[in-house]
Chain A
Amino acid sequence: MIPLGYYIGLSAILFTIGVVGVLTLRNAIVIFMSVELMLNSANLALIAFSAYSGDPAGQILVFFVIAVAAAESAVGLAIIIALFRNKLTVNIDEVNVLKW
């Protein structure tokens, strides 16, 4: 059998890659992909805990997370399209209207 720590460790590594992607990248679309990566790693941790503790509630939570992620990506990509129409770029360094 695979110990639970392996799954959580993999989830932690994927989450960290997502965090580094959000912090370092400048293309809004790829930043968005990094957010999806982080959501997925959280889902993996939830499923692993659910299976190892025998509680199906974790899988229900993952189902809701996937539904919310679908809504989030639809709205987020619409915002990116609106951004591109106004600024003709998806480089977030050039989108600094709200910068203090």
Chain B
Amino acid sequence: MNLELVVFLILAAAAVVSAILVITRKNPVTSVLYLVFNFFIIAILYLFLRAQFIAIIQITVYAGAIMVLFLFVIMLLNLGDDKLLKWKLNSKRTIASLIGLVLLAEILYYVVNFVSASSLAPGSESMGTVGAIGKILYRNYLFPFEITSILLLAAMVGAIFLAKKRFTEGSDGD
């Protein structure tokens, strides 16, 4: 058992525990903070896989921008201590958890039987750098990249429109 594997197992355990804490905490602010922790661990795992550019994007966009948006919305809504939102085990939830376990068993079955690669591909050390990703992105994937900018613009307009408008019954909302 080498050092890399030990570090990976510690990180994986921390990722799983923080993910479970995300869905079991009562207070959404606590959930967001555990989710940020989880995203940081996944960014470290990206560095293990030599995906440097994606690791930085993960920290700046996910752990930075998106999670700040989440925290901002939670604080804007100012949800009180809502007793109804408490996580409580009943028959419906037990069935849902069982479905989840079946899904996990299915995926793990395929992983154990069909995923066999044991080392990184040669040349993958320099594959995830900003330069390498930029070259591929602007040569082979230029059109999808431009479409993404239109998508982000549409999302921005839609978000402002939805959050600004006050819907009332019997009016067009203008």
In the complex, are the beta carbons of B133 and A27 less than 8 A apart?
no
Q: Is chain A's interface secondary structure helix, strand, loop, or mixed overall?
A: helix
A13–B13 CA distance with the chains assembled, in angstroms: 11
In the complex, are the beta carbons of A82 and B163 less than 8 A apart?
yes
B-facing mask of A1-37, CB < 8 A → 1, else 0?
A: 1111111111011111111110111110110111011
A23–B103 CA distance with the chains assembled, in angstroms: 13
Q: Please indicate the chain A residues that have their CB under 8 angstroms from the CB of B73 in the complex.
A: 29, 77, 80-81
In the complex, are the beta carbons of B28 and A91 less than 8 A apart?
no
Closest Cβ of chain A to B80, distance in Å, is 11
B-facing mask of A58-88, CB < 8 A → 1, else 0?
A: 0110111011111111110111111011100
Which of these, A17, A57, A70, contacts B152 with CB under 8 Å?
A: A70
A8–B100 CA distance with the chains assembled, in angstroms: 16
Q: Is chain B's interface secondary structure helix, strand, loop, or mixed overall?
A: helix
Which of these, A8, A29, A82, contacts B74 with CB under 8 Å?
A: A29
Q: Please indicate the chain B residues that have their CB under 8 angstroms from the CB of A59 in the complex.
A: 51, 53-54, 127-128, 133
In the complex, are the beta carbons of B85 and A91 less than 8 A apart?
yes
**Given the known A-B contacts A24-B93, A66-B61, are A60 and B133 also in contact in the complex, defined by CB atoms under 8 Å?**
yes
In the complex, are the beta carbons of A24 and B97 less than 8 A apart?
yes
Residues of chain B whose beta carbon lies under 8 Å from any beta carbon of chain A:
4-5, 8, 12, 15-16, 19-20, 22-23, 28, 31-32, 35, 38-39, 42, 45-46, 48-51, 53-54, 57-58, 61-62, 65-66, 69-70, 73-74, 76-77, 79, 82, 84-85, 87, 93, 96-97, 99-101, 103-104, 107-108, 111-112, 115-124, 127-128, 132-133, 136-137, 140-141, 144, 148, 151-152, 154-156, 158-163, 165-167
**What are the 10 closest A-B residue pairs judged by CB atoms, nearest first?**
A54-B121, A71-B155, A23-B96, A21-B23, A78-B162, A12-B107, A20-B100, A78-B159, A16-B104, A4-B117
Q: What are 24 of the A-B contact pairs (CB < 8 Å)?
A: A10-B12, A16-B100, A19-B100, A20-B97, A23-B99, A25-B23, A27-B82, A29-B28, A33-B23, A37-B35, A37-B38, A40-B38, A43-B54, A44-B46, A47-B49, A50-B51, A51-B120, A52-B120, A56-B132, A59-B54, A66-B54, A75-B155, A82-B167, A91-B82
